Homo-oligomer: A and B are copies of this chain.
Amino acid sequence: MTRGGVLAAAALLALGLSGGAAMAQDQVEKRVFEAGSYQTRGGGTIANVRIGYQTMGRLNDAGDNAVLIAHFFSGNSHAFGRLGGATGPVGYWDAIIGPGKPIDTDRFFVVSSDTLVNVNVGDPNTTTTGPATINPDTGRPYGMAFPVVSMRDFVEVQKKLLDSLGVKRLALVAGPSNGGLQAIEWAAAYPEMVERVMPVIAGEIDAWMQGWLDVWEAPIRLDPNWREGDYYAPGREPPLRGLAEAWKIVTLQANDRPWARQFERRIPEGQDPAKRIGDRFEVERALDATGQARARTSDANSFLYMVRANQLALREYPSLEAALSRSQARWLVVPSPTDRVFLREGVQEMVEILRRAGRPVEVVEIGGERGHLNGVLNVAPVGERVRAFLAD
């Protein structure tokens, strides 16, 4: 439980609310870590790095019972617990993180942080530093003048956060997708600090993935409102159409055929795509709506920087083999066999590299009808495997 959580529980008990302690135990609050000036791995300088984070559980005196959870491409640090009070929403991995759960906060001190260049700039529960942040030198948003950051930069800022919290050793670093890439990067960057790694729906960023990331971002650059990233000035429209199209691609590729089946080949009321070229099928309308909704709370330039950070995963090592061989951790690799982003063949190759390097590695597949997203939405069934992984 966080200090804020303890205080909230105490306040509820003082008010004589029955069950208040149990409810409060599930609650988290969002905090902000001020990292100060930060020099990126690419040699740039960010004057004042701030990222959001949340914790649950208690760090032991040795500082070695910590778990770090890293978030997916479009996510933030809200991986577990209720945010915003007793009826607030729970985090995306709440099924496996909490008191008595597989990642047991009665035993572990669990930390989850927002990354640099997080896309959710319009979300009050996300705190990040990126192209939409005010550059103190100019008093205006950085835009495309923000330094390029990499997956390793995400790790370096998390390292500063963990240092500030007194964490000496990570019993586990885990996350889905982009979060899994951060976990892998941690294992390579700080092998002596990482006991266990659990990359979920994540594998190698090879040229195939670099190409797909490029495809994701391309609509933003095509939108005339993007203006080379200079759209923050008052009176300018952000490139919402391009950003919505970018989210549509991500939404579709992160799903799978069974998910799409709900739309059948239905045609919305008033539409006739067999007669009018501008008319749409139901699935297109649904993708449009999802893309537009995501565009409203996210930032196009941050999307571009997040893409680049992914393309630069493990960039400082000559090969995946070289990076993974540095790891001293035990691995639990969790692919989704119907993943259309990180293809099962690619994850399998990573597992084979770990085995050839003599690293202890287990694999547990995650099921469900959502393809890649199974790793975010459907982790409960692998919970006991995670508990066993942490018990050894």
Contacts and interface: CB of A to CB of B under 8 A. Distances in A.
Interface of A: 41-44, 144, 146, 148, 150, 205-208, 210-212, 214-215, 218-219, 222-224, 241-242, 245, 248-249, 252, 256-257, 259-265, 273-278, 280-284, 287, 304-305, 308, 311-312, 315, 338, 340, 343, 345-346
Contacts of A260: 206-208, 211
B148 A206 contact: no
A261 B206 contact: yes
Given A211-B287, A245-B219, A252-B212, A206 B265 contact: yes
Contacts of A144: 277-278
A366 to B, nearest CB: 17
A281 B248 contact: no
B274 A41 contact: yes
A248 B218 contact: yes
Contacts of A245: 215, 218-219, 222
A257 B209 CA distance: 8
Contacts of A219: 218-219, 222, 245
B282 A207 contact: yes
Contact of A276 (B148, B210, B345): B148
22 contacts: A44-B275, A144-B278, A148-B276, A205-B265, A206-B265, A207-B261, A207-B283, A208-B256, A208-B260, A210-B263, A210-B265, A210-B283, A214-B284, A215-B248, A215-B287, A219-B222, A219-B245, A222-B241, A222-B245, A257-B345, A265-B315, A338-B345
Given A219-B222, A274-B41, A284-B214, A208 B248 contact: no
A248 to B, nearest CB: 6
Contact of A346 (B257, B262, B305): B257
Contacts of A264: 206-207
Contacts of A257: 206, 208, 343, 345-346
A242 B220 CA distance: 11
A263 B207 contact: yes
Given A144-B277, A275-B42, A281-B207, A242 B214 contact: no
B274 A211 contact: no
Contact of A214 (B207, B277, B287): B287
Contacts of A262: 207
Contacts of A205: 265
Contacts of A273: 148, 308, 311-312
Contacts of A241: 222
B249 A283 contact: no
Q: Which of A144, A210, A343 has the most CB of B within 10 A?
A: A210
